[in-house]
């Protein structure tokens, strides 16, 4: 089912339950359909989001499982999170590092092939890649939430800093759900401004999603407590921006990305609008070599 159809069904349900005086249904539970796991399989995982050619495969020796803590800023509660660093941890202080914030599904195993592609930009293990599981995903503790996304991204950035990473050699890459903390941290975390950011298939806002998915004027407050106002936050981002979106994305329509792109607060921006391409298909539809080449050109220029 597409995101549009899901929202239509939920909106109808919300209006019905409001009329009946029952408890409101929301989109909140659908925003974070992550899964927990007892063990990460990475390259041995079957059923990943995309399948990439074997030439991009990584080995167990190329990765390190990382544990770090994320703090709830309201309560002070700490949650153990898990991430994976691809590359040589001894050279983080001198390497260019990509912080990869994945989409809403399952956990890191599901996105391992995407991280493998990033680890091959410019050659095998040319750049370091740090991918994390948000709280409630994979082996990470806690329950996912909008504020939790921002706090978990902060925790990942803090870990990179503790390893010697510098802002001028750090790139944020957010896919789908991951574009939300990517934009938020690039906009509001002023002590560590990334060299540049990459957003793939981003959402403009929950209200925008509702507006484009229903034939009646309904406030997003009726169906969710989430905001995800990327189209406003991007106005505060001035570091270079790369945006990629499939023209046939029926999950998050390309107009979401267009709004973000037009509102970008900087002057250095690049866009790839990919023909005949759905939500999760950009690397394959673009062509893996072309995808990698486009990323390399953006990073180097």
Q: Which pLDDT band holds residue 222 (cuts at 50, 70, 90)?
A: very low
**Tokens at 283, concatenated:** 């690397």
In this structure, what are the phi and psi dihedrals at residue 180, rounded to the nearest 5 degrees? -65, -55
The pLDDT, as a whole number, for residue 283 is: 98
- β-sheet bridge partners, residue 181: none
pLDDT at 62 over 60: yes
Asked whether 264 and 234 are in contact (CB, 8 A), the reply is yes
Closest CA to 88 of 51, 134, 125, 40: 125
pLDDT of 145-184, one tens digit each? 999 999 999 999 999 999 999 999 999 999 999 999 999 9
pLDDT of 232-246, one tens digit each? 999 999 999 999 999
Rounded to an integer, what is the distance from CA 54 to the centroid of its chain? Answer: 24
Q: Which pLDDT band holds residue 206 (cuts at 50, 70, 90)?
A: confident
Angle between helices 146-162 and 179-188 (to 10 degrees): 70
Q: Which helix (H) or strand (E) holds 62?
A: none
Q: What is the mean pLDDT of residues 260-286?
A: 98
Following DSSP, what letter does each residue of 75-137 receive, concatenated? Answer: T--EEEEEEEEES-GGGTTTS-EEEEE--SSB-GGGGHHHHHHHTTTTSTTSSEEEEEEPTTS
The pLDDT, as a whole number, for residue 60 is: 97
User: CA quadruple 188, 126, 160, 143: dihedral positive or negative?
Assistant: positive
What the chain holds in terms of domains, given with CATH numbers, is 3-300 (3.40.50.1820)
Q: How far apart are CA 285 and CA 262, in angstroms?
A: 24
**Tokens at 1, concatenated:** 């089912």
Q: How far apart are CA 134 and CA 122, in angstroms?
A: 28
Q: How many contiguous H segments (helices) and E segments (strands) does the chain have?
A: 10, 8
The pLDDT, as a whole number, for residue 131 is: 99
Q: How far apart are CA 301 and CA 296, in angstroms?
A: 8
pLDDT at 11 over 60: no
The pLDDT, as a whole number, for residue 38 is: 97
pLDDT at 44 over 70: yes
pLDDT of 95-114, one tens digit each? 999 999 999 999 999 999 99
The pLDDT, as a whole number, for residue 215 is: 39
Q: Which residue has the higher pLDDT, 219 or 138?
A: 138
Instruction: Compute the mean pLDDT over every residue in the chain, rounded to the nearest whole number.
Output: 89
pLDDT at 7 over 80: no
Q: Which of 69-73, 173-177, 220-224, 257-261 has the lowest mean pLDDT?
A: 220-224
């Amino acid at each position: 089912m597409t995101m549009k159809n899901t929202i239509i069904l939920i909106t109808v349900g919300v209006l019905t339950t409001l009329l009946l005086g029952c408890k409101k249904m929301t989109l909140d539970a659908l925003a974070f359909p992550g899964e927990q796991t007892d063990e990460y399989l990475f390259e041995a995982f079957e059923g990943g989001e995309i399948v990439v050619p074997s030439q991009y495969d990584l080995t167990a020796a190329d990765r390190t499982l990382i544990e770090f803590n994320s703090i709830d800023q309201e309560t002070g509660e700490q949650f153990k999170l898990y991430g994976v660093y691809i590359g040589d941890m001894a050279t983080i202080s001198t390497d260019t590092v990509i912080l990869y914030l994945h989409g809403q599904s399952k956990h890191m195993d599901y996105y391992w092939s995407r991280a493998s592609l990033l680890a091959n930009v410019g050659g095998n293990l040319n750049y370091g890649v740090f991918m994390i599981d948000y709280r409630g995903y994979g082996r990470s503790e806690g329950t996912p939430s909008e504020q939790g996304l921002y706090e978990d991204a902060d925790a990942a950035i803090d870990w990179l800093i503790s390893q010697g990473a510098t802002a001028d050699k750090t790139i944020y890459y957010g896919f789908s759900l991951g574009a939300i903390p990517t934009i938020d941290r690039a906009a509001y975390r002023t002590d560590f401004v990334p060299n540049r950011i990459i957003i793939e298939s981003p959402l403009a806002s929950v209200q925008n999603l509702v507006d484009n998915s229903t034939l009646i004027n309904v406030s997003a407050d009726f169906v969710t407590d989430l905001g995800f106002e990327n189209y406003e936050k991007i106005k505060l981002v001035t570091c270079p921006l790369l945006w990629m979106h499939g023209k046939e994305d029926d999950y998050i329509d390309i107009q979401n990305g267009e709004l973000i792109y037009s509102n970008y607060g900087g002057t250095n921006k690049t866009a790839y609008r990919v023909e005949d391409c759905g939500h999760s298909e950009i690397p394959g539809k673009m062509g893996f070599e072309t995808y990698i080449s486009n990323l390399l050109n953006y990073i180097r220029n």
